[in-house]
Amino acid sequence: MDWLFLAGIVIFLIGLMVSIALHEIGHLVPAKIFGVRVTQYMVGFGSTAWSRRKGETEYGIKWLPLGGYIRMIGMLPPRPGDDPNKLRGSSTGPFQGLIDTAREAAQEEVRPGDEDRVFYRKKWWQKVIIMSGGPAMNFVLAFILFTILLVGIGLPTFAPIVSPDTNTCVIPISEQRTECKATDQPTPASQAGLKAGDKLVSLDGKKIETWQDATQLIRSHGAGDVALGVVRDGKPMTLTVTLIAQDRPKPDDPDTIERNVGFLGVLPTQVMQTQSVGAVFGHMAELTGRVAQSLLNLPEKMVGVWHAAFSGEKRDPEGPVGVVGAGRMGGEILASDLTGVQKLAVFVNLLAGFNLAIGMFNLIPLLPLDGGHIAGGLWEGIKRGYARVMRRPEPNYVDIAKVLPLTYALAFVMIIMAGLLVYADLINPLRLTG
């Protein structure tokens, strides 16, 4: 296996571990600010690879880079009849929380003076902030990474600059070849003397700013002579070009053929185009909507993953991908023929998208996800606000442990989904190219 491929996997996993670590810091910092006693901060699962205790918290790294958690005292209130000094513990990590509850071994004795440091006794809005901190950190990371991508690196786009890969002959779309034959007709571009690196700036007096502009103007003009404005080596010049009529695939729908459109015969050059900070908000808003739609369609998407894994169907590029699949993408990126800047751009985009997806997935209002705890805190706030308005006694703390059966069911489904994704990512991976 290519060492660049392995290096790409390692780099992505490191980036993922950093994202997980910062997600848990998003929980840890507000928990400590609000006085909750945090006994553990762990990145990863399984056996502990390294740990160190600082104050009352043990900080560590575990061997399996599949998540992380912080352990807070008294995340769940005592059951009716329990010793009030005995509290059931849980964790922000979904699988770790399931294990703790399943074993019923997470009861932890409250030390003297810790009675007000348990999670369940905190104000409802403090609970919401603590549990929202993880997803919020993912959104902040996604925004920072998308800013680096759009503002600092740029997105790949086609510019109206003649590419060196441009053919000098007209190849019918019915023939699957790229090499010219002696019998092929020269393109209007080659006859007019266009060269690689020439920038198209106008056609028949109409301004060209993007490759889409050039395509639209050329096709709509049809056959005939036209004045083409170009910039060559920094010098503007005008060429007279005789466009011809050709059948060409539609730019936004290659399966649809447009008949007798104007044809020049040039290919664009791919460049990295930077954008403003304001564009980052629009970019994230668009992706957030797409991720939200994907989450709503997750059951249907997982059916597609099943067919891809066991029937060999093509993976949906908009479908879910697991850590294994994303790691493979990281390897493909580094081992690809892209330039260094293009590799960096794709890598940053992949990690930013992963953070956005993790943040939104964790906001689903079901346990053991962060969104389930957030929903519990909001419900407690509604109950207490209603009681205050109606001048009724303050209600008890919301006991989210009552929905543990649903938690078990959802956790089981999540484990099955994770296993299916791992299998599909190994057998029929979603690739960046091809």
Task: Tell me whether strands 107-109 and 86-91 are parallel, antiparallel or unpaired.
Answer: antiparallel
Return the bridge partners of 228, or none. 203, 239
Residue 101 has pLDDT above 50, yes or no: no
- 98 or 338: whose pLDDT is higher? 338
- Determine the pLDDT at residue 434: 46
Domain ranges, ordered by start, for the chain: 163-272
Amino acid at 181: K
Residue 34 has pLDDT above 90, yes or no: yes
Q: What is the pLDDT of residues 58-78, one digit of tens each?
A: 999 998 877 899 988 877 776
Q: What is the pLDDT of residues 184-211, one digit of tens each?
A: 889 999 999 999 999 999 999 999 999 9
**Nearest by Cα to 310 from 195, 188, 419:** 419
- Determine the pLDDT at residue 417: 86
Residue 433 has pLDDT above 60, yes or no: no
The fold adopted by the segment(s) 163-272 is: Pdz3 Domain (2.30.42)
pLDDT band (50, 70, 90) for residue 83? low
pLDDT band (50, 70, 90) for residue 100? very low
Contact partners, residue 299, CB within 8 Å, separation at least 6 = none
Give the C-alpha separation, 386 to 371, whole Å: 22
- 258 or 145: whose pLDDT is higher? 145
Amino acid at 16: L
Contact partners, residue 306, CB within 8 Å, separation at least 6 = 420, 424
Neighbouring CB atoms inside 10 A of 17's CB total 17
Burial of 403 (0-12, 13-18, 19+ CB in 10 A): middle
Amino acid at 276: S
Task: Pick the range with the lowest mean pLDDT from 7-21, 91-105, 328-342.
Answer: 91-105
Q: What number is the average pLDDT over the span 124-149?
A: 96
**Nearest by Cα to 225 from 249, 242, 204:** 242
- The CA distances from residue 335 to 7, 157, 433, in Å, are 9, 21, 12
Catalytic pick from 24, 104, 332, 380?
A: 24
Contact partners, residue 31, CB within 8 Å, separation at least 6 = 38, 70, 72, 119, 130, 133
pTM comes to 0.79
Q: What number is the average pLDDT over the span 114-124?
A: 86
Which residues of 55-119 form beta strands (DSSP E)? 57-76, 86-91, 107-109
- Determine the pLDDT at residue 181: 86
Contact partners, residue 384, CB within 8 Å, separation at least 6 = 124, 394, 395
**Nearest by Cα to 317 from 232, 215, 430, 241:** 430
Q: What is the pLDDT of residues 152-191, one digit of tens each?
A: 999 888 999 999 989 889 888 877 777 888 888 899 999 9
- Determine the pLDDT at residue 307: 87
Residue 371 has pLDDT above 70, yes or no: yes
The answer to whether 24 is a known catalytic residue is: yes
Give the C-alpha separation, 119 to 304, whole Å: 40
- Determine the pLDDT at residue 240: 93
Q: What is the pLDDT of residues 378-405, one digit of tens each?
A: 999 999 999 999 989 888 888 776 776 7
Q: What number is the average pLDDT over the span 265-271?
A: 91
Helix axes 277-296, 298-310, angle to 10 degrees: 70
- Determine the pLDDT at residue 398: 80
